[in-house]
Structure 1
Amino acid sequence: MSWRPWLSRWSQEWIRSREPGQEDPEILREGWLGFAPASEEAIAAAEGRIGRTLPPSYREFLLTTDGWRHAGVFVDQMRDTSDIGWLRDIEPFWEESWKDLFDENPAAEDGNPLGRGLLISREGDAQILFLDPGDVDAEGEWAAYILSSWSDGPRRFASFTALMEDLYATFHNIDQPEGQTRDDWDTAVEQARAAALAGAVDAAAQLLEEAEKFGRDRATVLRAQLQMFLNRERMDTTQSLRRWVAAAPGFANFRDDPLFTAELLPMLFADHAANARPYQSTVLQTAMLDERMHLVIGEYQARLRRGGAELEFGNPEFNALIRQALREHADDPDALWEAVGAALVRWRPRTPDHIAPIALLADPILAATLTPERGRALLSRPRG
């Protein structure tokens, strides 16, 4: 990591993301979320105090800035060379609160990182950052962790650098700052869309997953379409639908968007029909709590009741071929999906954000016979 240029970008983006009156005068004046660099002597003194040599990426960070403000969203300030120390000594209640997590699995290879962690965060909103000297890689990097009061346990990163990159992504996801980083990820999302349509499903999915961490709603919509073909477990499908529904209002015209009205809505109703349970809300029921969605969902439901919302699988040429495949091969899943694959050459996206024929999954026969292998084979075909 070349710390100074990256942290300078982070600082400028943070300043631009503030509402009037939210700015910190010192940060605004300096244009810098950090502080003065630590000296080699200060780092050596800290290492002498804790009895360990700090990992390389954290040492280089301290030589760039001795501390950091607004790390992600929930940590207001990180510690500096004067007050880094062992978590068990500074804030022992974290280990006490989470010890059962490790007592349940005493044979865990890495043991309890909380009991030996080096606390590097100072002020935060029920969240801490720490490094683990008991988990060191070949380059001397210590594993790094985020632990929040609302989490299931500490979240591990391979190094301090990887931890900071995740905090940076969280800042982008929540605050949505303008700037080069946002523009670069939007460009990457468009590249991923083209890769997905070309059949490069893994490359597209990986790029979209990274872009989604930075809060790019378009990445969420595109990735959800791929995941619904690749991950066929019910919980995976539900999670993909929930993320898509949450991202949809971020598009100004989503109520009139064919991707929403003709692809997502049929999926929501199909998922509801298959998974509705007493005292458990389906994705459709949760979506209807949002007043922005309630009306459009209600209109679609009314059309269903009138018999005027027949499922269309896509553009007319593709729709006709799928209906033919269902008539001829409903009892033969292999032949059915071979016919669907052959029809894909006629499929066309409804919108620029449409990369997979999701409407297929709203049909109970097609949905029941789609395996991850068939889904991958379909997505690996160039289309559109």
Structure 2
Amino acid sequence: MTHTTPFDWRPFLVRWSGEWSDSLPDDEARSEEDEAARRARWLGFPPASEERIAAMEERLGRRMPPSYREFLKVSDGWQHAGGFVWLLAGTADAHWHNDELGLADMFEEYLDDDAGPDERRDVDIWRRGLQLDVESDITYVLMDPEDVDEDGEWAVYTWASWRAAAPERYANFVEFMRGMHQEFHNLRARPGEGEPEFVNDTTREQDALVQQARLEVLRGNWEWAGHALDEAKEYGRPRATGLGDQIRRLLGQTYMVYYGGVVTDPRYAPELLPALVAEHAAHSKDDSTLMFHLRGAGDDVVSSAYTTLEQVRDGTYRYTAAGPFGEAVERARELARWGDTDEAWRTLMDALPLWQPLGPDHLVPLGWVADPVLGPLLTPERGRELLSTPRGGEEGDAPNPTAGLDPHDLAWLADPDPHEQRTAYRFVLIEEVNPEDVPGRLAEGNEAALGDPVTPDEARNRFLRGKTEFSSYDDKALMAVGRAGTRWSFAFDGTPAHIDSQRFVSPAAAASEGSRAVVVWSGLRTRLGKPFFHLSVAQDGAEQYAFTYADGQVHRTGEVPRALDPERFFGSRRMERSEENTEAERSLLQAVTAEFGVRLPRHAITNGRLHTFTTRSWTRPPVEGEAYAVVSISGEATH
């Protein structure tokens, strides 16, 4: 068992008392007790003797935890513990709470049937806790004799009904008193009119810690710096929140991240406003609430915020930066918009050491997280890599690069979809053709125009918007476009309907004029019908070979290479078990990867934004005698 060094209470309490005394206006009316404490520069009381502490323990039937006992030996009670506990109990006033207000029953009403020990403790503390608050603003302080650590310390819980939160836990009495000292500082950090300037040894130490933390973040030592900034934030130091929130945002921690007053400073608004606005756009439709986080901002900053909000919502926001890093941003966006997100990220990281902050309260490039193309590059792992990279003229050790998000193959398409949405898909691969030229080979007229980069859901919503009729013979695919390797481009549809094997027309031949094209359509795990798989390959406008597995049968044309021979994957099996389907699908995709040297960018397809377009129908028109349906949005249908 390890034991901690006893806390030295006297210098801590003396400093606290002096800071409290110096923070009071000279002409403020106060009670006799407060005036005496101010003049004495002491918020405590005479120390309790060992006999007095022993008598208290005999009265309560328990030996007190070590840190509280040592506190009592310095001061038998305390005044103004934080901002809402005016008198803290000493030996005479500490008593068992015994749920005298029925709070245990109140908390118990909110418990679920599967409530764990922590939730249960929030109830039981009112029945067994030792109450330390004597005078307060409806704020309770209880020590829990059943929540004990290896040093015999009891946890301390505080709760106030007006805070609308669960009881807050402190590991021991020392941590509770430190927390109350921080609360006192936090409430006094911004003096009101007529109040003395709040400057003392603690504020100077914390401000120096903030400055050191800033330099350490720029050197890549963000973890230590983050803890230091969190501590300074508890003390209410004005720069700590703005700096710490920049770290939290890159780690994916977006809750209650508002960048303090830094976001309203015109120097930093170009970097911090987009990140703030993008989070607002993602979670709120009430734009009036945005002003709550822009209090004190000038008209230019407010105007910029609402302009940026409009751009974020319609997908037109574009992040820019100065110097070599800004040039890398443009290259990265070009790579990302065609799906090469791993290379886009490496481009940003390679240029990051050359990045310069906009001022002393700026730690990281951040506006790019709101960019519709660059924003999806961020993951918590990549955020840590960025934070660990020295920049802004500071030196440090470069971090190990984070692993890429994209496998170099097609086989990932056979992996289970976390949301079970991708059970079928189809794609076209075209060799030696740029992505922007793909639509011209698969679509006609206005439909060959590429749309702005969008997510799959956004693309689907736009595709269906305003559509009034749906025909059973019309199978136009909404496809995302990008690069499929060094020599190939792709068009990908992740939500196709079930294949109509009688009327299906592969687009491979039309796509292969002056080139080579590969078409894959997989429904081996589809829930819409029986499993199927199609592969067709064409060159210079003519189909070379193809096969379709459907209804337990394989139909082929042309000479299929041995590596892609469907008999190797299906044989005589009817593929009735899902594990067989997945095994065959994965093997086929691996074979296509090896045969053509292609890949598809998983991260861009599933989490990013890509350009889209609508293809020609993948089915032939109906012939005489074939029935089809045209369904209108009103529900009417003709045959």
Specify the alignment match of 1:357 in structure 2: 365
Partners of 2:244 and 2:116 in 1: CA distance: 37
Amino acid paired to 1:342: D
1:168 matched to 2:181 = yes
The yes-or-no answer on 1:117 pairing with 2:129 is yes
Deviations 1:191-235 (A, max 9, x none): 11111111112111111111111111211111111111112xxxx
- What amino acid is the match of 2:103? W
Higher strand share: 2
Relative distance call for 1:305 and 1:44 in structure 2 (3 A) is closer
Q: Distance in 2 between matches of 1:158 and 1:304?
A: 44
1:169-200 Cα offsets, whole Å, 9 max, x none, are: 11111112320001001111111111111111
Q: Which of 214, 230, 237 lines up with 2:254 in the alignment?
A: 237
Match of 2:219 in 1: 198
The whole-number CA distance in structure 2 between the counterparts of 1:376 and 1:215 is: 26
Q: Secondary structure at the match of 1:353?
A: coil
- Name the CA shift for 1:297/1:350 in 2 (closer, same or farther; >3 Å): closer
Matches of 1:172 and 1:336 in 2, distance apart?
A: 45
Partner of 1:45: 55
Query: What is the CA–CA distance in structure 1 between the aligned matches of 2:150 and 2:308, rounded to whole Å?
Result: 60
Q: TM-score, normalised by structure 2?
A: 0.54
Task: Report the Cα offset of residue 287 of structure 1.
Answer: 2.9
Query: Is the 1:225–1:355 Cα contact (8 Å) retained in structure 2?
Result: yes
For each residue in 1:3-45, what CA deviation from the matched residue of structure 2 results, as whole angstroms up to 9, or x when unmatched? 1111010001011112231552111221100111111121111
Cα RMSD for the two superposed structures: 2.5
Which deviates more from structure 2 when the two are superposed, residues 7-16 or residues 354-363?
354-363
Paired-residue identity, % = 37
- Aligned counterpart for 1:57 among listed residues 64, 67, 82: 67
1:189 and 1:218 in contact (8 A); partners too = yes
Residue 136 (structure 1) aligned with residue 157 (structure 2): no
With over 3 angstroms needed to count, the CA separation of the structure-2 counterparts of 1:29 and 1:45, relative to structure 1, is: same
Which of these residues, 9, 24, 29, is aligned with residue 39 of structure 2? 29
* Matches of 2:254 and 2:309, distance apart in 1: 26
Tell me, yes or no, if structure 1 residue 295 matches structure 2 residue 302: no
Indicate the residue corresponding to 2:101 in structure 1.
92
- 1:75 matched to 2:93? The reply is no
TM-score by length of 1: 0.88
- Distance in 2 (CA, whole Å) between partners of 1:367 and 1:271 is 12
Identify which of structures 1 and 2 has the higher relative contact order when contacts are C-alpha pairs closer than 8 Å and 6+ apart: 1
Question: SS at the partner of 1:207?
Answer: helix
Shift in CA distance, 349/248, structure 1 to aligned 2, threshold 3 Å = closer
- SS of residue matched to 2:47: coil
- Matching of residue 152 in structure 1 with residue 165 in structure 2: yes
User: Aligned match of 2:229 in 164, 185, 208?
Assistant: 208
For the 8 Å contact 2:246–2:366, the answer to whether it is kept is yes
Q: Which one has the largest radius of gyration?
A: 2
Residue type of the alignment partner of 2:387? L
Once the two structures are overlaid, the 10-residue window that deviates more, 4-13 or 16-25, is: 16-25
In structure 2, distance between residues paired with 1:93 and 1:364: 52
d(CA) in 1 for partners of 2:256, 2:305: 22
Deviation at 1:107, TM superposition (A): 5.3
Partner of 1:324: 331
For the 8 Å contact 1:86–1:116, the answer to whether it is kept is yes
Q: The residue matched to 2:363 in structure 1 has which SS?
A: coil
The 1-side partners of 2:350 and 2:173 are apart by: 49
Deviation for aligned residue 1:305: 11
- Which residue pairs with 2:12 in the alignment? 6
The structure-2 alpha-carbon separation of the partners of 1:311 and 1:366, relative to structure 1 and needing over 3 Å to count, comes to: closer
Q: Deviations over 1:340-380 (max 9, x none)?
A: 10110221111011111012212122212211111111111
Partner of residue 391, structure 2? 383
1:53 to 1:305, Cα distance in 2 relative to 1, 3 A: closer
Structure 1 CA distance for aligned equivalents of residues 105 and 17 of structure 2 = 35
Could you tell me which runs of 5 or more consecutive residues in structure 2 were left unpaired when the two chains were aligned.
1-6, 190-197, 393-639
Alpha-carbon distance in structure 1 between the residues aligned to 2:235 and 2:350: 36
Structure 2 residue aligned with 1:181, among 202, 216, 229? Answer: 202
Change (3 A) 1:59 1:103: farther
Give the deviation of 1:152 after TM superposition.
2.1
Worse-superposed segment, 181-190 or 316-325 = 316-325
Deviations 1:110-157 (A, max 9, x none): 742221100011011121111111111111111111111124221111
* Partner amino acid, structure 1, of 2:126: L
1:314 offset after TM fit, Å?
2.7
Contact 1:238 1:283 survives alignment (8 Å): no
SS in 2 for 1:270: helix
Q: Report the residue type matching 1:334 in the other structure.
A: D
Q: Which sections of structure 1, spanning at least 5 residues, go unmatched? A: none
- Cα deviation code 1:244-273 (max 9, x no counterpart): 24x348xxxx543x11x2112222333344
Contact preservation (8 Å) 1:119, 1:130 = yes
Contact kept, 8 Å, 2:355 with 2:391, in 1: the verdict is yes
SS at match of 1:76: strand
Partner of 2:341: 333
Q: CA deviation at 1:326?
A: 0.8
- AA of the residue aligned to 2:187: I
CA distance in 1, matches of 2:151, 2:59: 23
